[in-house]
A and B are shown apart, each in its own frame.
Chain A
């Protein structure tokens, strides 16, 4: 957490301590909203922009065993076309014969074009607390930032895309694991919190539009950019499930389901979050 963040957090905590119990919930919500607004007030203070820049350099630099850049990587709008590509993902890619979200597609390009080994890329794909987002995540941050200001417009009309959305919906409500959790356990009702953290009601388009376009996002609490695949990995961790593999069909299907719900929602990636 930044010094400012810590100060704000301490001030917020102090405010909570003096609040009377009956008013605590309203005050809590107001204070949290004020904190979120302060984070957003100066968009150039977002450290996630540094990762977008790092991602751009990684995209254009020849790398990997084949020593080529990603400028021939087709994100769906033609090789090397990055502007607006994220807004139309996930989508079906005929060359891979599967639906892919931005991270899965970058993973595929790093493997097929640059010659990186997939097994190495999926081994430890997400940063620990305090460590910067990994290379693939930085590239995804760059690609997403090039759709910032647009709205989600994934067509999701191809039979395989429709299948992905339907699979995502089935997964969203599917309960398993020792805690009996589904995504819907926390994200199906409006206005719920875990501790002080508000939970978006992701099955409702108005709510999904408000948050899905923020990812990849800089997380103040973990001081790094977290990608959407990392976000899902972390949800499954909390759900007491095993480690979700980067690029697994499950993660792509959930992202397709969420993006479908968020259709028309603004993309503001990388956003800054608590």
Chain B
């Protein structure tokens, strides 16, 4: 998140455009063709995985630090993708959320037919609870996430939106668009929001 903010600031200052320009040495069509040829056993329904969508194309072209007009266009486009819980509630079951945060299962070519639900794999990149010491450091630390936000309802909604589509909040964020890309369901995202925002969750255990 800090990274995304820094990148956003850098792009506002126009620092990245010159660098991005120099990288256009290879014709994108040539790259696309090489990628298509590299995965000859990919089934028809996997072909969409091989090519970046418009947002990813723009992110890669700008080193994930797009200039402001592109930044704003991505944010608007990605925000429009967010589907909200039909019952209007953002907090599910934090215990299920913890299990989802631990699980990296799903959507790899060895995960078909699916033996269980996809995980969110949050711990791969984030420190979330003090109990789990095997955590990654690509994403920001989320310790005491809810407590620091005084468990406000509006913050639960914001967390839901970030998990559903990180690029709506931070265009070109490195985080997967877990809801928009159909990795997690609305209910699963609510469970992870509960992990972050429930007063009972180990995320919010006192020091």
Contact B136–A192 (Cβ < 8 Å) = yes
A251 on interface, CB distance cutoff 8 Å: yes
A3 on interface, CB distance cutoff 8 Å: no
Contact A250–B38 (Cβ < 8 Å) = yes
Q: Which residues of B contact A241 (CB under 8 A)?
A: 39, 49-50
Contact A191–B137 (Cβ < 8 Å) = yes
Q: Which residues of B contact A170 (CB under 8 A)?
A: 23, 25-26, 28, 31
The interface centre, meaning the residue of A171, A175, A192, A251 with most chain B CB atoms within 10 A of its CB, is: A175
Taking a contact as CB atoms closer than 8 A, the residue among A178, A184, A199 that contacts B182 in the complex is A178
Beta-carbon nearest neighbor of B143 in chain A: A21
Interface on chain A toward B: helix, strand, loop, or mixed SS? mixed
Contact A194–B124 (Cβ < 8 Å) = yes
Pick the interface stretch among B67-75, B92-100, B104-112, B149-157: B104-112
Contact B137–A178 (Cβ < 8 Å) = no
Q: Which of B112-155 contact A (CB under 8 A)?
A: 123-125, 130, 133-138
Contact A194–B125 (Cβ < 8 Å) = yes
Beta-carbon nearest neighbor of B47 in chain A: A242
Q: Which residues of A contact B23 (CB under 8 A)?
A: 169-170, 173
B42 on interface, CB distance cutoff 8 Å: yes
Pick the interface stretch among B10-18, B81-89, B173-181, B191-199: B173-181
Taking a contact as CB atoms closer than 8 A, the residue among B49, B63, B125, B174 that contacts A240 in the complex is B49
Cα separation A244 to B64 with both chains bound (whole Å): 25
B41 on interface, CB distance cutoff 8 Å: yes
**16 further A-B pairs in the complex, CB-CB below 8 A; given A177-B49, A237-B109, A241-B39:** A174-B60, A175-B59, A178-B107, A181-B176, A184-B64, A185-B174, A192-B136, A193-B136, A193-B137, A194-B124, A195-B135, A195-B136, A237-B108, A240-B49, A245-B38, A248-B34
Interface residues of B (CB under 8 A from A): 3, 23, 25-26, 28, 30-31, 34-35, 37-43, 46, 49-52, 56, 59-60, 63-64, 107-110, 123-125, 130, 133-138, 174-177, 181-183
Interface residues of A (CB under 8 A from B): 16-17, 19, 21, 24-25, 28, 163, 166-167, 169-171, 173-182, 184-186, 189, 191-197, 199, 237-238, 240-245, 248-251, 253
